[in-house]
Structure 1
Amino acid sequence: MGRSTWFCWNGVLSTAVLYGSLALFTSILHNVFLLYYVETFVSIYKIDKVSFWVGETIFLIWNSFNDPLFGWLSDRAFLSSPQSGSHITSPEVVLKRLKALSTNGPLFALSFLAFWVAWARPGLQFLLCLCLYDGFLTMVDLHHSALLADLAVSATARTSLNFYCSLFSALGSFSVFMSYGFWDKEDFYYFRYFCVTLAAFSILGFFFVSRKLQLRFKKEILPKQDEASALKELSVGNAPFTNAEKPVTIGQYLKQLSKHKNFLWFVSMNLIQRNGVYQVIKWLFLLKLGLGLVMLLAGADHIYLLCIFIASNRVFTEGTCKLLKLVISDLVDEDFVVNRRQQAASALLFGMVALLTKPGQTFAPLIGTWLLCVYTGYDIFERQPVKDSVLAPDISSGSGTPPLRLGCFYMLVFVPITCALLQLAAWSRFTLHGKKLQAIKTLRQGTQHGHMIDVKAI
């Protein structure tokens, strides 16, 4: 009975399911972080405006540059030396990433807990917590995203991996709904207990799943890799993309990337945020634009329609973000083929994308609070009660500034409309889809035949 149950669980917990579940252990913490960290420091720890802006500015720099830094540290062995790169096989790359996840995942969960207890001056704690949290989040996200490109090359297998990743990310959003039952600015004890429970679950999940994948990969993939290596020794001649040139430096890599037009157009589109994925993303942008225009015409008085608009905009944005990982994986393939690399520098390319797109994520709350203050006069750092109601406009006010409710409405509507227009303009210039994408995948699969083990083999 016990043996049959074990084999049953092994069948249910496929590699794609295990890979996707890693997104759950990140999202249950990150969704709570995004919702409460500003409110905690502003309303509970009483951080002042100068410290908040200084912390966010330093965080902007760190948030942008730690992705390519960690990506380079992770993948430099694949680029710096042809000799070392030729001896690093695809299974070894996967095992290296899984080992990193088993270490950085629990550390990420522990850094999440540092927000919810006051242990230093608010300004100092705000800066240290943000940088520490984002550092471990970057390590987890880089290695998890890079696995999407390292585990599989075919569009079908990558779509399967990404599907479970999206599914578990959606499940992770339930932590936000649960948090409403514990959040209380007057009594923070139960919310802290809730966060400790989430962190403990995340730590155990990262440890169990990453170790399970490591054992499965060693048991089922490495013997096949040894067989492929033996066959390679019998072959005569060099591989098509064997590179005997001098080592690639970071400057040379950046120069190569600057000539990668699809990469540049992709990050241009993603800053403001196959044939199949290409068209789906395009239609998601069009839907976001259409909904924004409909909401603008309807006006701010339709509360239920506004709620549907906010929810749908969030769903479309999250859906687009998940699909963009597939596109970045395709960019990894193109970079591998065009620059004739020994190994695909997956984490480094994901890091370079983040370098050029993360400033948008950091600037968003800063610009949003500034625009709201300029347009309506409302300051989130104001300790006095807000006279202007969010639910009803104050028509008796003679100040000449629009009510807070109307200011929030225009920000909610015009930001998605503007972003959708700019994203569509950039996305229309992206050419890595259709026949070109299929040609790139054929070249990479042919080059790494016998070395690249697809996810279906696990």
Structure 2
Amino acid sequence: MRMRFINNQNTRNRMALDKNFIYYSFCTFASNIMSSVFSFYYVYFFLDVYKVSHSCFQFAQVLFMVWNAINDPLFGWIQDHSSSKWILSRQLNILYGAPVFAVSFLFGWFPFYDVLHLDSEYWKCIHLVLTLCFWDTMFSFVLLAYCALFTEVTTDHTSRVRLTQYTRVAAICGFWAVPMVEYGYETYGNEGFYLCLFFIAIVATIFMCLTGLFTRSNVNRLDDAQIAEDPPFFSYEFLRMNLQIVFNKNFISFVTMNFLSAGMCHFAASFTKIFTEDLSLFSDSKSNKLTFFFINSVGGNLLIVLISPFIESYGSVVIVCLSFVSVFLSSVLLYFWRTFNTIIVQILILNIVPSGMFGLYNIFVSSVIDEDQVRYKRKLPLSSMIFGINALITKPAQSIFPMIAAYFLDMTKVDVVDAAGNPTKEHPQRSREAIVTLLCVLPMVTALLQLLVFCPFRMTHLSEQLRKNTAFNRDQSRTESNL
């Protein structure tokens, strides 16, 4: 009887809504509606609408990759060791960064060179570089603090899986972003497109501000900062802390897998519209195309919500490894059977499975952060630094994978011919056969590598030890202040 009472009580606890988790998840909703639209349209607009050359596109991606390598560890160190209270606070980073983040989202869709009548490749290239760097700067600043807050809001694997459910539901609530913009663009042209963009930016700003105002953390960074390690930038101690993080076996295993996952997610998100248009998948039905884009947008987050019981039962590592197997098998299937149905299934899997599993990666980083704090007896978790180093290594994949795809598609273009088989004056078009080959070979190789590098990863469950250490550090700090 007592066991039944305990089980019922646990069930009620799981069913009860956690307001703190809800406030935290608002930022997921906000960032998802902006990033999904940005990722979906920026390659299509700059290559097919603004007509940026492929050489300019590759050059911009290289500069973007370099800036990616600089800003994440820089922001990570600043947010963990700044003397300024608003920078030290994760919540204030989100609150003050939200409006600028929204502006960076809007910047890319307004080509300033058209207003100034500067119709040259040089200005288009500058616009692309500024768009990518401005967007990533604010994306890194706000979401680095947000990801670090994930570790400090939760204390164990169970609560982190539950918070992941909240964030995935919040992301699902942003399902309307891409279909709404696509409908506005297809139906009302540029006016509908820009109206939808402004609406998304305003909504995202409001919800990010709510996260910054009302989310509460288990780590009081403003009070505990006085007892935390604060090494000077580029000092020996700073270098030692970074090396301790980088040479952690679990960190190496995770970050390599995450690099490949980030690249695959951005490849799928950035080229889905291009592949859909070039392969004429839904040329006869606008409603089918919008439904297809809707499923691609919401599928990954819905997948995590549906399989959450299996994640709690079998563990995050097992589920993620199974996702790599599913991508590999679907790619093999497409390689040998290149039909309309297998192409549709492959595009759906590439958009749903990697992006869905990406929602679990904060759990793995949090595990690495817990392990690092206990192993090296740190008074405060180096959350932003570890997330920053992870981003330093993985974010270049956001440029590398689109560069590989764009280069391959550019090299395999075919001439347009008339009914008699003679070449026309039109520019060469992307080869449909090359697109399908890219759709199966790149994911196949990536999934196999992911499976090999991530199998050695081991989750650490150190929450009890962390609570003891945190309580000890706070008691010691109070004793010293009283003396």
TM-score bucket (shorter structure): 0.7 to 0.9
What amino acid is the match of 2:448?
A: L
SS in 2 for 1:344: coil
CA 1:193–1:211: 2 relative to 1, 3 Å: same
Partner of 1:252: 240
Shift of 1:133: 0.8
Are the equivalent residues in 1 in contact too, given 2:260–2:397 (CA < 8 A)?
yes
Structure-1 residue corresponding to 2:250: 262
Percentage identity across aligned positions? Answer: 23
- How far apart are the structure 1 equivalents of 2:66 and 2:402? 15
8 Å Cα contact 1:23-1:169 kept in structure 2:
yes
Map 1:206-355 onto structure 2 (within 5 A). 206-213=208-215, 249-273=237-261, 276-297=315-336, 299-301=337-339, 303-355=340-392
Aligned equivalents of 1:340, 1:195: Cα separation in 2: 47
Q: Which amino acid aligns with 1:287?
A: S
* In structure 1, distance between residues paired with 2:33 and 2:229: 43
Which residue in 1 is equivalent to 2:181?
Answer: 179
Correspondence 1:385-396 to 2 at 5 A: 387=416
Whether 1:449 aligns to 2:478 is: no
- The residue aligned with 1:428 is 455
Tell whether 2:125 aligns with 1:123: yes
Instruction: Tell me the alpha carbon deviations over residues 12-51 of structure 1, each in whole angstroms, 9 at most, x when there is no partner.
Output: 6711112112111011111111111122223333333333
Q: In structure 2, do the counterparts of structure 1 residues 181 and 243 end up closer, same or farther at CA, with 3 Å as the change threshold?
A: closer
| 1:227-250 Cα deviation digits (max 9, x unpaired) | xx9xxxxxxxxxxx9989998733
Does the Cα contact within 8 Å between 2:76 and 2:384 map onto a contact in 1?
yes
Residue 17 in 1 paired to residue 22 in 2? yes
Change (3 A) 1:256 1:192: same
Cα distance between partner residues in 1 of 2:471 and 2:239: 30
| Aligned equivalent of 2:80 | 75
- The 2-side partners of 1:426 and 1:388 are apart by 46
Partner residue, 1:381: none
Where 1:342 maps in the other structure, the secondary structure is: coil
Quick check: 327-336 or 283-292, which moved more?
283-292
Please tell me whether the aligned partners of residues 94 and 151 of structure 1 are also in contact (alpha carbons under 8 angstroms): no
Q: Calculate the aligned-residue CA RMSD, in Å.
A: 3.4
The CA deviation at 1:149 is 0.5
Is 1:243–1:340's contact at 8 Å kept on the other side of the alignment?
Answer: no
Contact residue 388 and residue 404 of structure 1 kept, 8 A: no
Which of 25, 28, 32 lines up with 1:27 in the alignment?
A: 32
Aligned: 1:66 with 2:54 = no
2:141 corresponds to 1:103: no
Once the two structures are superposed, residues 270-312 of structure 1 have per-residue CA deviations (whole angstroms, 9 ceiling, x without a partner) of: 2211960111111111111122222223x222x1232122112
CA distance in 2, matches of 1:348, 1:333: 13
Instruction: Indicate how the Cα distance of structure 1 residues 185 and 71 shifts in structure 2: closer, same or farther if over 3 A, else same.
Output: farther
Structure 1 residues 192 and 27 mapped into 2: Cα distance closer, same or farther (>3 Å)? same
The answer on 1:200 being equivalent to 2:237 is: no
Partner in structure 2 of residue 407 of structure 1: 434
Partner Cα separation in structure 2 for residue 198 and residue 368 of structure 1: 29
Question: CA 1:335–1:395 in structure 2 vs 1: closer, same or farther (change >3 Å)?
Answer: farther
| Unaligned stretches of 5+ residues in structure 2 | 1-15, 114-122, 262-311, 475-483
Higher relative contact order (CA 8 A, sep 6+): 1
C-alpha contact 2:97 2:141 (8 A) present in aligned 1:
yes
Distance 1:212 1:43, change over 3 A: same
Query: Does the Cα contact within 8 Å between 2:28 and 2:167 map onto a contact in 1?
Result: yes
Cα distance in 1 between the residues matched to 2:334 and 2:100:
42
TM-score normalised by the chain length of structure 1: 0.77
Q: Which amino acid aligns with 2:48?
A: S
- Deviation of 1:221 after TM superposition, in Å, equals 9.6
Q: Secondary structure at the match of 1:202?
A: helix
The alpha carbon displacement at 1:255 in A equals 2.0
Deviation, structure 1 residue 131:
0.6
Per the normalisation by structure 2, the TM-score is 0.73
Q: Count the aligned residue pairs.
A: 390
Distance 1:76 1:408 in 2: 47
Task: Choose from 417, 422, 427 the match for 2:444.
Answer: 417
Rounded Cα–Cα distance in structure 1 between residues aligned with 2:190 and 2:421 = 37
- Structure 1 gaps of 5+ residues are 1-10, 78-83, 230-240, 379-385, 453-458
Contact 1:18 1:209 in 2 (8 A): yes
AA partner of residue 280 (structure 1):
I
